[in-house]
Amino acid sequence: MSRIWTTRRDEKARRIKSIAHLTQNAILNKENIIEAMEALIQPGDRVVLEGDNQKQASFLSESLLQVNASKVNNLHMIMSSVSRPEHLDIFEKGIAKKIDFSFSGPQSLRVSQMIEDGTLEIGEIHTYLELYGRLFIDLIPNVALVAADKADRFGNLYTGPNTEETPAIVEATAFKDGIVIVQVNEIVDELPRIDIPASWVDFVVEADQPYQLEALFTRDPKLISELHILIGMMTIRGVYEKHQVKSLNHGIGFNTAAIELLLPTYAESLGLKGKIAKNWVLNPHPTLIPAIESGWVDTVHCFGGEVGMEAYCAARPDVFFTGKDGSLRSNRAFAQVAGQYAIDMFVGSTLQMDMRANSSTVVSGRLAGFGGAPNMGHDPKGRRHSSEAWLDLITSDDPLSKGRKLVVQTVETFQNGNTPVFVESLDAIEVAKQAHLATAPVMIYGDDVTHVVTEEGVAYIYKAEGEEERKQALSAVAGVTSVGSKADAAVISSLRERGIVAYPEDLGIHRNQANRSLLAAKNVRDLVEWSDGLYNPPAKFKNW
């Protein structure tokens, strides 16, 4: 008997035909979305739901929650970010059973509790790029639920500034005979540009309100402390200047926001303009506006957009990647690739770090995941192009030696609530046991970390000889934590002499220099003024 080679295609055609009475070409009325989902999604399907850490297919996720669990159940959900309540409500209702994800910041406490209760089954916790890759290998979706700004009546999509992960999700589904359902803010006669062609899309539904978009990368300068500024100054002087870093990524947080606002002031005073921090892979951080306006930044390629930065990005096409329509073009998958292979440095932070510099944002009672940090926060062994910064980390005379990406962790020794960042053992080890994970969810492995910067100083752990010396270098900057208490004064003195540890005074920095007068913008209003009024911050950041 001959094999049938079109089973997925035939099944897709059957499902689509079953809702022919509900659709007009590619257009599906929002009043019919639940009935359509109950026919298009089958028990046990793999369903990828767009929900990265900014853009959420919120109408579709709310609709999925309303399907009849006797018709749609035991779904295997694939989500970049578990961000909304209904993302977990569907598990409590039995609509979904298993999840593979990357990040769950807003829902991290609930995820942890649901695992403990046995309501949620985790496949794996991924990096973003890893999750996108598996969509094409062993997590191929049966159904994709995504969001776009606009569609025309044929089903062509305009994703606008917030393209993000949409193309990767849609392509993995459409070209393996899965069903692609897209919520859009509006259906129009003509699009500003076509970001995804209609031939990749099965159904478009105009939502009752725009998709949710979080201002995830906005940091109010008024909340930047003198401690953040001190860490920023040491990072600029002890890392950026020392290694002449030109291409980089900044993670989320006030430490990196402080660095961005110190470039036009403190770094300018060091004569570093044009020598460092020129090419970025970065969401359009509002705190980068002063550096852009003062000529520090040459290019920025974005993972996604940022609420309120649309007009500013459109007005700065020399810096940002924009389309003929003028709006930003972001792409989370390509930006992750660039962050992995094309940049010289990743600067991030963490909630816990052990004595070997392993770090994680998965802590006891809070299973947050880690998003894209592991993609950018490691030394890619496949890199072959060189740069000044990359070559500067060679520590061997071997003629086959190669450079290293700078992986920098900037942390305060204690979090809010007097919780130490430096610990003897990561909570992630115990969390792995509770969640039945095969390996502990480590965000960045210690052997990839090259620098650790705290308010105490800089540890150049890539220069340390052996594991014991790495531990000593970390202890030297771990403050009064249990890890820091292991530091020996004589050992620290030797490490400083050899350039493995540097305290502020070793870098020509006086602690009393670190004050808010150095910030190029002191509040959000200053950022608006720097942008010539182009930046339109969300209402919660306006206090004038």
| CA 443 remoteness from chain centre | 12
Mean pLDDT, rounded, for 256-277: 98
Of 69-73, 370-374, 505-509, give the lowest mean pLDDT range: 370-374
pLDDT at position 543, please? Answer: 80
CA distance 256 to 483: 24
What is the CATH code of the structural domain delimited by 221-394+401-527? Answer: 3.40.1080.10
Q: Work out the pLDDT band at 383, boundaries 50, 70, 90.
A: very high
- Indicate the fold that domain 9-213 takes in CATH: Glutaconate Coenzyme A-transferase (3.40.1080)
| pLDDT, tens only, 317-367 | 999 999 999 999 999 999 999 999 999 999 999 999 999 999 998 888 887
CA dihedral 169, 170, 176, 178 (to 10 degrees): 100
Instruction: Kindly state the DSSP code that residue 240 receives in the 8-state scheme.
Output: I
User: Of 29, 252, 237, 49, whose CA–CA distance to 131 is shortest?
Assistant: 49
pLDDT at position 141, please? Answer: 98
Alpha-carbon torsion (526, 527, 530, 531), positive or negative: negative
Q: Same fold for the domain at 9-213 and the one at 221-394+401-527?
A: yes
User: Of 73, 45, 280, whose CA–CA distance to 145 is shortest?
Assistant: 45
Residue 79: what residue type?
Answer: M
Mean pLDDT, rounded, for 208-228: 94
Q: Work out the pLDDT band at 544, boundaries 50, 70, 90.
A: confident
Mean pLDDT, rounded, for 120-135: 95
Mean pLDDT, rounded, for 100-118: 90
With beta carbons less than 8 A apart as the criterion, state whether 501 and 460 touch. Answer: yes
- The answer for residues whose C-beta is within 8 angstroms of residue 35's C-beta and 6 or more apart is 19, 22
pLDDT at position 436, please? Answer: 84
Mean pLDDT, rounded, for 381-390: 95
Q: Domain-by-domain residue ranges, the chain?
A: 9-213, 221-394+401-527
Question: Rounded to two decimals, what is the model's pTM?
Answer: 0.95
Given a cut of 90, whether residue 105 has pLDDT beyond it is no
Please report the DSSP string for 440-475 in residue order. Answer: ---SB-GGG--EEE-SS-EE-GGG--SHHHHHHHHH
Alpha-carbon distances, residue 154 vs 193, 252, 269 (angstroms)? 14, 39, 56
| CA 184 remoteness from chain centre | 24
**Burial label, 459 (beta-carbon count in 10 A; 0-12, 13-18, 19+):** buried
